[in-house]
């Protein structure tokens, strides 16, 4: 089976991008004619030998009182459940609440815990560095920074070899915007509708989702174009995307020809003709939309979009904050699955397994353009952050985390597609590896989003049965499944049974 868990420094890009899915090894797992669990049958949660510490801290009531009185008010709005989860401890794919109840975590702190909560190898690296040097800045020369930059660069083809370390994905994307504008001498940046690229004043312009917008001027020079969503968009068929699971929409395209792709590229051309100057700075795109609900594009969309952008003087930026570090399974970076070569790559989340860190990787040419002023980041490249991130890269390789993403993710997608065929309210199943979205609808004919109230019922039911998942999409209509890349087939089966049961329960209550 093709895989690219580790890319040596002299890797040839064409070879890296050529890794494709091969699911034949699953045999009976992926060829079953029907979903294995009846609606009323729920297996026991898979066993776990880890014993969490007994919680002896403040009461749940006191925590909520403090949350209301002293914390950012938004924390009350984004507490996802009617009955909040009060977390105490985590280990690998498991979380425990203050009452000692165990949960299977399939959201990973919003696709952030890449190799597992408190992974022993990563924890040991952090502890070792904490005993040696907590903090200094890159005005000094210290081993963790240089060891990590060399290691991270080895995962990229030439000339993507210059690394800037940041503290978050928003900061990384903000930095990439500045780089693109300085390098090209142009200002306008294009992103896709439904995208999420951060919440800073600049990246808010890249983000195209009303929930994250404020009624003030922000992100000047950013223009959104139609997202090539082959399920919810005006065009799409059953052969459009690079995924083990395709949409239920009919497709009459000839072999090797995608009408939907042509239409969406036509929309991008119209954006060029009507909404931006003749010369632009950049195009920002997630290889698979994360917050947008694991939205995938026609297979050649990014390839053609990159060509059009470069013809207009722009650079192409891949936002790998959620798709990077092996999560898509078939490739280490999401952009490789599209056969494209970006000029700038941004990343965060899984880079540090939850430790606050981000990065921008670019070419020497763009880096030289950026040297027109002094760029300094107090915490970017912090010794502990670098030690943690280095251990994450080692762990992805040693634990075969990317291969787990491919195997377990493909199995989950295939089985979830059977639930889609079983239930009228499951409109679409999509994704690659462990970057999965399940879009819920009122019915398949209209594709109207399932109501927030109905989504909440199912969401709460899944949690009450011991599994944590996420939500996304423009209307909050998509369940997001993005677990730590250490889950097992047994975990996958448990979730599938829980999800099946929760949908069955909802349908019974209707």
Whether 183 is covered by a domain: the verdict is no
Same-domain check for residues 379 and 406 = no
Please report the pLDDT score of residue 398 as a whole number: 98
Give 203's contacts (C-beta < 8 A, 6+ positions apart): 170, 173, 174, 177, 197, 219
Rounded to whole angstroms, the Cα distance separating 472 from 478 reads 5
Q: Are residues 281 and 160 both part of a single domain?
A: no
Check residue 21 and give its pLDDT. Answer: 36
Give me the torsion for CA of 304, 309, 313, 317, rounded to 10°.
Answer: -110
Nearest to 387 by CA among 45, 133, 201: 133
Looking at residue 433, which CATH number applies to its domain?
A: 3.90.1150.10
**Contact indicator for 111, 327 with CB cutoff of 8 Å:** yes
C-alpha dihedral sign at 464, 499, 496, 5: negative
Sheet holding 435-440, edge to edge: 426-432, 435-440, 478-481, 470-472
The predicted structure's pLDDT at residue 475:
95
Q: Taking 70 as the threshold, does the pLDDT of residue 10 lie above it?
A: no
Residues 429-483: tens digit of each pLDDT:
999 999 999 999 999 999 999 999 999 999 999 999 999 999 999 999 999 999 9
Question: What pLDDT digit, counting tens, does each position of 121-148 carry?
Answer: 999 999 999 999 999 998 999 999 999 9
The answer to the question of residue 21 being in a domain is: no
Residues 405 and 395 in one domain: no
CB atoms within 10 A of CB 143: 13
List C-alpha distances in Å: 53 to 90, 109, 222: 10, 21, 48
Instruction: For residue range 215-244, list pLDDT tens digits in order.
Output: 998 889 999 999 999 999 999 999 999 999
- Residue 10 domain-assigned? no
| For helices 383-398 and 143-153, angle between their N-to-C axes, nearest 10 degrees | 40
pLDDT digits (tens, 9 = 90+) for 405-424: 999 999 999 999 999 999 99
Within a domain: 23: no
Element holding 123 (H helix, E strand) = helix 120-130
Report the pLDDT value the prediction gives residue 35, as an integer from 0 to 100.
58
Q: 20-32 pLDDT, tens per residue? A: 334 334 433 444 4
For 73-88, write each residue's pLDDT tens digit: 877 776 678 899 999 9
**5 within a domain of the structure (yes/no):** no
Co-location of 86 and 204 in the same domain: no
Q: Are 190 and 209 in contact (CB under 8 A)?
A: no
Residue 18 has pLDDT above 80, yes or no: no
Kindly state the DSSP code that residue 450 receives in the 8-state scheme. P
Cα(163)–Cα(184) distance, integer angstroms: 19
Which CA distances in Å does 184 have to 224, 347, 357, 471?
Answer: 20, 22, 27, 37
* Mean pLDDT, residues 390-417: 98
Contact status, residue 354 vs residue 112, Cβ threshold 8 Å: yes
* pLDDT over 80 at 374, yes or no: yes
Q: Which of 343, 365, 383 is the last residue of a domain?
A: 343
Task: Specify if 179 maps to a domain.
Answer: no
Residues 197 and 299 in one domain: yes
Q: What is the mean pLDDT of residues 34-58?
A: 85
Cβ count near 421 (within 10 Å): 13
Pairing, β 470-472 against β 478-481: antiparallel
Chain centroid to Cα 260, Å, comes to 24
The whole-angstrom separation of Cα 109 and Cα 103 is: 13
Which is higher by pLDDT, 161 or 17? 161
pLDDT at position 34 is 52
| CA 234 to each of CA 193, 239, 259, 263, 473: distance values in angstroms, whole numbers, following the listed order | 14, 15, 11, 9, 16
Q: Are residues 235 and 285 in the same domain?
A: yes
| Inter-CA distances, 214 with 199, 201, 204, 209, Å | 10, 10, 9, 11
Question: 420 lies in a domain?
Answer: yes
Same domain, 224 and 333: yes
Nearest to 350 by CA among 427, 313, 402: 402
Are residue 196 and residue 323 in the same domain, yes or no? yes
* E strand or H helix at 476: none
Could you tell me if 209 and 325 lie in one domain?
A: yes
- pLDDT score recorded for residue 252: 83
CA 240 to chain centre: 20
> How many Cα atoms within 13 Å fall on the side-chain side of residue 279?
8
Q: Average of pLDDT values for 100-116?
A: 97
Please indicate, yes or no, whether residues 225 and 334 belong to a single structural domain of this protein.
yes
Q: What is the pTM of this model?
A: 0.92
313/332 Cα distance (integer angstroms): 28
What pLDDT was estimated at residue 15? 34
Between 178 and 75, the higher pLDDT residue: 178
Average pLDDT estimate for 2-29: 35
Last residue of a domain, one of 343, 371, 390: 343
- Domain extent for 227: 191-343
Q: Are residue 145 and residue 236 in the same domain, yes or no?
A: no
Distance CA 311, CA 306 (A): 9
Element (H, E) at 83: none
Tens of pLDDT, residue by residue over 260-277, are 999 999 999 999 999 999
Q: Which residue has the higher pLDDT, 330 or 23?
A: 330
State which of 306, 324, 343 marks the end of a domain: 343
CATH code of the domain covering residue 320: 3.40.640.10
CA R_g for the chain: 22
Residue 9, domain member (yes or no): no
Instruction: Say if residue 213 is in the same domain as residue 316.
Output: yes
Per-residue confidence (pLDDT) for residue 13, from 0 to 100: 31
Going by the DSSP 8-state scheme, the letter that residue 30 receives in this structure is H
Mean pLDDT in residue range 355-382: 95
Q: How many residues does the chain have?
A: 510
Q: Which residues, at least 6 apart from 111, have a Cβ–Cβ distance to it below 8 Å?
A: 290, 322, 327, 349, 350, 435, 480, 482
Of the candidates 189, 219, 166, 181, the residue with the CA atom closest to the CA atom of residue 377: 166
The predicted pLDDT at position 510 comes to 84
- For the chain, the domain total comes to 3
């Amino acid at each position: 089976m093709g895989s690219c868990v580790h890319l040596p420094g002299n890797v040839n890009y064409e070879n890296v991008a050529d890794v494709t899915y091969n699911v034949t090894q699953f045999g009976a797992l992926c060829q079953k004619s029907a979903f294995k669990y009846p609606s009323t049958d729920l297996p026991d949660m898979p066993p776990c030998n880890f014993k969490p510490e007994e919680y002896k801290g403040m009461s749940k009531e006191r925590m909520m009182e403090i949350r209301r009185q002293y914390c950012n008010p938004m924390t009350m709005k984004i507490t996802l459940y009617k009955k909040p989860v009060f977390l105490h401890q985590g280990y690998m794919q498991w979380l425990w609440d203050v009452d000692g109840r165990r949960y299977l975590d399939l959201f990973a702190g919003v696709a952030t815990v890449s190799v597992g909560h408190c992974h022993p190898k990563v924890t040991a690296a952090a502890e070792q560095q904490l005993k040696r040097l907590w903090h200094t800045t890159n005005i000094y020369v210290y081993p963790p920074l240089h060891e990590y930059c060399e290691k991270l660069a080895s995962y990229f083809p030439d000339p993507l070899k210059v690394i800037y370390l940041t503290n978050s994905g928003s900061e990384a994307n903000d930095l990439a915007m500045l780089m693109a504008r300085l390098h090209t001498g142009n200002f306008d940046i294009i992103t896709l509708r439904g995208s999420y690229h951060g919440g800073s004043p600049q990246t808010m312009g890249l983000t195209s989702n009303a929930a994250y917008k404020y009624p003030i001027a922000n992100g000047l020079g950013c223009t959104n174009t139609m997202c090539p969503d082959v399920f919810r968009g005006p065009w799409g068929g059953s052969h459009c995307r690079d995924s083990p699971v395709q949409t239920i929409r009919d497709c009459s395209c000839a072999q090797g020809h995608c009408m939907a792709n042509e239409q969406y590229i036509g929309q991008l051309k119209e954006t060029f003709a009507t909404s931006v100057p003749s010369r632009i700075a950049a195009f920002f795109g997630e290889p698979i939309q994360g917050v947008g609900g694991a939205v995938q594009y026609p297979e050649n969309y990014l390839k053609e979009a990159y060509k059009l952008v470069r013809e207009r003087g722009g650079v192409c930026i891949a936002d790998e904050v959620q798709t990077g570090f092996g999560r898509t399974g078939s490739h280490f970076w999401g952009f490789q699955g599209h056969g494209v070569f970006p000029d700038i790559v941004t990343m965060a989340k899984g880079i540090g397994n939850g430790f606050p860190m981000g990065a921008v990787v670019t070419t020497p040419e763009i880096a030289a353009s950026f040297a027109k002023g002094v760029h300094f980041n107090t915490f970017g490249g912090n010794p502990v952050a670098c030690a943690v991130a280095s251990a994450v890269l080692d762990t992805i390789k040693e634990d075969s985390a990317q291969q787990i993403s491919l195997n377990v993710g493909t199995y989950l997608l295939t089985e979830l597609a059977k639930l889609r065929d079983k239930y009228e309210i499951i409109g679409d199943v999509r994704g690659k590896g462990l970057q999965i979205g399940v879009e819920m609808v009122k019915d398949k004919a209209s594709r109207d989003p399932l109501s927030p109230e109905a989504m909440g019922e199912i969401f709460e039911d899944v949690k009450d049965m011991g599994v944590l998942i996420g939500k996304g999409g423009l209307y909050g209509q998509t369940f997001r499944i993005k677990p730590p890349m250490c889950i097992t087939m047994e975990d996958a089966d448990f979730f599938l049974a829980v999800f099946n049961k929760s949908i069955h329960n909802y349908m019974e209550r209707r």
